Amino acid sequence: MTLRNTPPTAELQALDAAHHMHPFTANTALGKKGARIITHAEGVRLTDSDGAELIDGMAGLWCVNIGYGRHELAEAAARQMRELPYYNTFFQTTHVPALQLAAKLAELAPGDLNHVFFAGSGSEANDTNIRMVRQYWALKGQPERRTIIARHNGYHGSTMGGGSLGGMAGMHAQGGLPIPGIVHIDQPYWYGEGGDMTPADFGLARARQLEEKIIELGAENVAAFIAEPVQGAGGVIIPPETYWPEIQRIVDKYGILLIADEVITGFGRTGYWFGSQSYGIRPHIMTIAKGLSSGYQPIGGSIICDEVAQTIGQDEFNHGYTYSGHPVAAAVALENLRILQEEDIIDRVRTHTAPHLAQAWGSLADHPLVGEAVSRGMMASLALTPDKASRARFAADAGTVGYICREYSFGNNLVMRHVGDRMIIAPPLVISAADIDELVIRARKTLDQTLDHLH
Ligand code: PLP
């Protein structure tokens, strides 16, 4: 569908290339190959400015959990804009959408995660977390506990704090990251790094790196460990089942805080409200964003346990954002949570949609290019390999085969993303069984074309 009165694609692309700097893009390349312009979306399908219809295998950026086109959210936004388009939550003021959303999140979150500090995004929320855990330990009389342990190839956002917590080498290479007081241990990526170990042994070994790092630094200097329950942007890396129980044991033993970054895994992505529930872990803080509003409005935050919140509350926490708890974003998030809950979307993911995806996606494992085809809930990945038996990587130019595959995927009207030579998907949670099957048919065709291309 081309929108009426919209200039032709080439004209829009030229304007875009001239003035719009895109994230994570070599922008001068846009002058040669213009950006794809998305004009409309409904359910799990996107329409571009040339009228092509694509299955959105990535739910935008892992966020459109309830799918596109839910008018209830537009109406919630319009209602709130008419009533109170903006007010802040600083200086002992509040408004109804922010307080109701905080209360709703406290109800949904496990254990005693009963307090919410709002931000505009996942990155901002993780910046909040850095300051909050350090301030927590300062108020506990242990100001030396400042170091935060994170993981290589983890992703926690793009601000100075979020990018530092993340373990993305390409990000650290630019702009002086990481900031001081953040260190990284290895990821639980058995397929890529497990060698001859069993997944179970490897999961334990990688978890025990946390203990080794705590001992090396001195537990009295360690504030927290942060990790995604399932690494998303790192390539949908699903940890061995032994990993999280061992992490929980170590966190408990040394009394450090556990921050679960649930920006992707929250709000149903794993078939539970939060990925932490899927793995049985007990974080002190959870980072949230994305699925909180299904991406219809920018909003993020931290859900904080009683003990940390009460300690922080003893003093003024000199921190906050103009848009912390923005009323329109909060109203939209509330409506999104209502839909997730009343339509039983998350239960359906756990009992039907995710098992169907696991079976359909898993069938790609027989393809000659595929070393593994795995999923957890509604996030899934393929490892592309030149040799299935040895789990080998493609030589030179890391990322090239994945990039080629992604381009064929677009050509087949399927949005799949690549991380190096891993192909990843995380579709809207409301995707039907028929659309999962169609997605997998397009993915297989894409793999066939990529294989032909290599020969
Ligand atoms: N944390 C995780 C696990 C993420 O996947 C992301 C974004 O992809 C972020 C944090 C950053 O969120 P935002 O892009 O909203 O700042």
Is residue 260 within 8 Å of 303, Cβ to Cβ?
Answer: no
Dihedral sign computed on CA atoms, order 426, 431, 432, 436: negative
| Tens digits of residue pLDDT in 321-334 | 999 999 999 999 99
Spatial separation of the C-alpha atoms in residues 91 and 213, rounded to whole Å: 40
Spatial separation of the C-alpha atoms in residues 59 and 49, rounded to whole Å: 19
Q: How far is the CA of 2 from the centre of ligand 1 (A)?
A: 31
Mean pLDDT of 438-453: 98
| Tens digits of residue pLDDT in 207-223 | 999 999 999 999 999 99
Tell me the pLDDT band of 384, cut-offs 50, 70 and 90.
very high
Spatial separation of the C-alpha atoms in residues 221 and 200, rounded to whole Å: 30
Is residue 30 scored above 90 in pLDDT? Answer: no
Angle between helices 243-254 and 199-217 (to 10 degrees): 20
Residues 6 or more apart from 444 whose CB is under 8 A from it? 364, 367
Mutate which of 155, 292, 323 for ligand 1 pocket (most atoms within 8 A of beta carbon): 155
Tell me the pLDDT band of 397, cut-offs 50, 70 and 90.
low
Mutate which of 127, 287, 290 for ligand 1 pocket (most atoms within 8 A of beta carbon): 290
Give the count of beta carbons closer than 10 Å to the beta carbon of residue 44.
25
Integer distance in angstroms from the first to the last C-alpha of the chain? Answer: 37
Spatial separation of the C-alpha atoms in residues 160 and 181, rounded to whole Å: 13
Cis peptide before 428 (omega within 30 of 0): no
> Residue with structure tokens 């979020």?
162
- Residue minimizing CA distance to atom 13 of ligand 1: 122
Q: What is the DSSP string of 189-221?
A: -HHHH-TTS-HHHHHHHHHHHHHHHHHHH-GGG
Mean pLDDT of 153-174: 97
Is residue 142 scored above 90 in pLDDT? Answer: yes
Mean pLDDT over the full length of the chain: 96
Name all residues whose Cβ lies below 6 A of ligand 1.
Answer: 61, 121-123, 126, 155-157, 162, 228, 232-233, 261, 263-264, 287, 289, 300
Is residue 397 within 8 Å of 439, Cβ to Cβ?
Answer: no
Ligand 1 atom closest to the Cα of residue 154 is: 3
Angle between helices 400-411 and 433-454 (to 10 degrees): 130
Spatial separation of the C-alpha atoms in residues 166 and 178, rounded to whole Å: 9
Nearest to 98 by CA among 328, 327, 336, 290: 327
Distances (CA, A) of 267 to 106, 278, 388: 13, 12, 34
- Residue minimizing CA distance to atom 7 of ligand 1: 157
> Residue with structure tokens 């061992």?
246
Q: Which helix (H) or strand (E) holds 436?
A: helix 433-454
Mean pLDDT of 319-347: 98
Half-sphere exposure for 49 (CA within 13 Å, toward CB): 14
Listed in order, strand segments (DSSP E) in 44-197 are 45-48, 53-56, 113-119, 147-151, 182-185
Is residue 412 scored above 80 in pLDDT? Answer: yes
Q: How far is the CA of 119 from the centre of ligand 1 (A)?
A: 12
Mutate which of 64, 123, 226 for ligand 1 pocket (most atoms within 8 A of beta carbon): 123
Q: How far is the CA of 11 from the centre of ligand 1 (A)?
A: 32
Mutate which of 128, 263, 286, 288 for ligand 1 pocket (most atoms within 8 A of beta carbon): 263
Spatial separation of the C-alpha atoms in residues 193 and 195, rounded to whole Å: 6
Q: What is the ipTM of this complex?
A: 0.99
Is residue 3 scored above 60 in pLDDT? Answer: no
Q: How far is the CA of 388 from the centre of ligand 1 (A)?
A: 32
Mutate which of 156, 230, 302, 419 for ligand 1 pocket (most atoms within 8 A of beta carbon): 156
Spatial separation of the C-alpha atoms in residues 381 and 280, rounded to whole Å: 23
314-349 in b/e form (b: 16+ CB < 10 A) is eeeeeebbebbbbbbbbbbbbbbbebbbeeebbeeb
Tokens in use for 362? 């898993």
Q: Classify residue 242 as left (phi > 0), alpha (psi -120 to 50) or beta.
A: alpha
Ligand 1 atom closest to the Cα of residue 231 is: 3
Locate all alpha helices (DSSP H) within 326-382, ordered by sequence: 327-342, 345-348, 354-362
Give the count of beta carbons closer than 10 Å to the beta carbon of residue 165.
32
Mean pLDDT of 7-26: 94
Q: Could you give the strand order of the β-sheet that contains 414-415, starting from the edge strand earlier in sequence?
A: 38-42, 45-48, 53-56, 414-415
Between residues 26 and 186, which one has the greater pLDDT? Answer: 186
Is residue 399 scored above 70 in pLDDT? Answer: no
Q: How far is the CA of 261 from the centre of ligand 1 (A)?
A: 8
Is residue 287 within 8 Å of 263, Cβ to Cβ?
Answer: yes
Q: How far is the CA of 197 from the centre of ligand 1 (A)?
A: 31
Q: How far is the CA of 6 from the centre of ligand 1 (A)?
A: 32
Q: How far is the CA of 154 from the centre of ligand 1 (A)?
A: 10
pLDDT above 70 covers a percentage of the chain that reads 98
Q: How far is the CA of 285 from the centre of ligand 1 (A)?
A: 15
What is residue 1's predicted lDDT score, i.e. its pLDDT?
47
- Residue minimizing CA distance to atom 9 of ligand 1: 157
Is residue 335 scored above 80 in pLDDT? Answer: yes
